[in-house]
């Protein structure tokens, strides 16, 4: 690991092209009381491009959680005497009230998006990010929309501290934050490496067909018992139950957006018996296909 020697220049803030917003105490207080924002709200946010000699240490930690999202270069984050390397397309969330020290690698300075946040839901969001309640570096695929969303938050706050602008900024930040924390769930196809995910994708491509559990297991080169065990353990449903749910979800789209008859829809989704389709639809959706159509057509 390459660090910064005592002779090197250390910089907390002040980088060419940087953007930084620190919300004043009265606005933070208002956000904490606003029913729309008190779940998650920002206290500070910014972007430091090519942050040479960036170095920040808080021996007593911060009262808020701190998000560091690296898009270029490298740096290190020391938390509880554990050193984490932050590389492009990775992020870390520093727990609140935790001593820490982070710095950019001076031979390859990082460009980071950062934010301080808190709120009634902050602890719960952090627990979704880390089951162990300890910080760790997460690598994610680069998505331009994520960066655009973050920049929109900064732009909103640069232009106005009005009530609605602050609400929108916090809504967008929550969207950005959860897109990182739930990146595997938001982009399942990018992480679909196990048989259950592969089988789900196979089901979605063949909703018009009918499969036995033996056929689905064989498609994944697994025994019926092992395939069923994996599926039930991950999703809580048997493969056939899940396949039927996918079909019913698709049938809702047909009922809502087309004028196809219930019999046509059931046939198109691989149900040989339209009465069986109707029973499954009512079991899952709570009302018959006809009532569902009448309700939404109104």
pLDDT in tens, 257-277: 889 999 999 999 999 999 999
**What are the b/e assignments for 81-108, b being 16+ CB within 10 Å?**
eeebebeeebbbbbbbebebebbbbbee
Q: What is the pLDDT of residues 220-252, one digit of tens each?
A: 999 999 999 999 888 888 999 999 999 998 999
Q: What is the pLDDT of residues 145-203, one digit of tens each?
A: 888 999 999 999 999 999 999 999 999 999 999 999 998 777 666 555 688 888 988 99
Q: What is the pLDDT of residues 75-110, one digit of tens each?
A: 999 998 888 999 999 999 999 999 999 999 888 899
Alpha-carbon span 280 to 97, nearest angstrom: 51
Q: What is the pLDDT of residues 102-137, one digit of tens each?
A: 999 888 899 999 999 999 999 999 999 987 778 999
Predicted pLDDT of residue 298:
56
The strand order across the sheet containing 90-94 reads 19-22, 41-48, 111-118, 65-72, 90-94, 138-139
With a cut of 60, say whether residue 1 has pLDDT above it.
no
With a cut of 60, say whether residue 68 has pLDDT above it.
yes
Residue 203 C-alpha from the chain's centroid = 24
User: Mean pLDDT of all residues in the chain?
Assistant: 89
Q: What domains are there in the chain, each with its CATH number?
A: 19-188 (2.60.120.280), 192-297 (1.10.10.60)
Task: Judge whether 94 and 79 are in contact, CB under 8 Å.
Answer: yes
């Amino acid at each position: 690991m390459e660090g910064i020697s005592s002779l090197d220049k250390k910089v907390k803030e002040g980088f060419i092209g940087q953007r930084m917003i620190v919300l004043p105490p009265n606005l933070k207080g208002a956000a904490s009381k606003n029913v729309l924002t008190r779940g998650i709200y920002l206290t500070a946010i910014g972007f430091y491009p090519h942050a040479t000699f960036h170095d920040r240490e808080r021996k007593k930690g911060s009262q808020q959680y701190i998000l560091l999202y690296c898009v270029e270069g490298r740096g290190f984050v020391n938390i509880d005497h554990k050193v984490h390397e932050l590389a492009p397309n990775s992020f870390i969330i520093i727990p609140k009230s935790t001593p820490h020290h982070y710095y950019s690698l001076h031979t390859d300075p990082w460009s980071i998006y950062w934010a301080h946040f808190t709120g009634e839901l902050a602890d719960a969001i952090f627990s979704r990010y880390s089951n162990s309640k300890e910080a760790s570096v997460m690598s994610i695929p680069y998505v331009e929309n994520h960066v655009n969303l973050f920049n929109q938050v900064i732009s909103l706050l640069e232009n106005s501290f009005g009530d609605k602008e602050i609400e929108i900024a916090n809504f967008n930040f929550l969207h950005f934050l959860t897109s990182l924390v739930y990146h595997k769930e938001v982009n399942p196809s990018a992480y679909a490496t196990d048989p259950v995910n592969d089988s789900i994708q196979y089901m979605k491509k063949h909703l018009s067909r009918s499969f036995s559990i033996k056929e689905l297991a064989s498609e994944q080169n697994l025994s019926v018992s092992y395939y069923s065990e994996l599926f039930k353990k991950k999703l809580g449903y048997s493969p056939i139950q899940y396949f039927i749910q996918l079909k019913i979800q698709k049938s809702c789209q047909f009922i809502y957006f087309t004028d196809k008859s219930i019999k046509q829809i059931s046939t198109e989704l691989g149900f040989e018996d339209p009465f069986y389709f109707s029973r499954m639809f009512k079991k899952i959706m709570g009302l018959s296909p006809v009532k569902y159509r009448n309700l939404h057509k109104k």
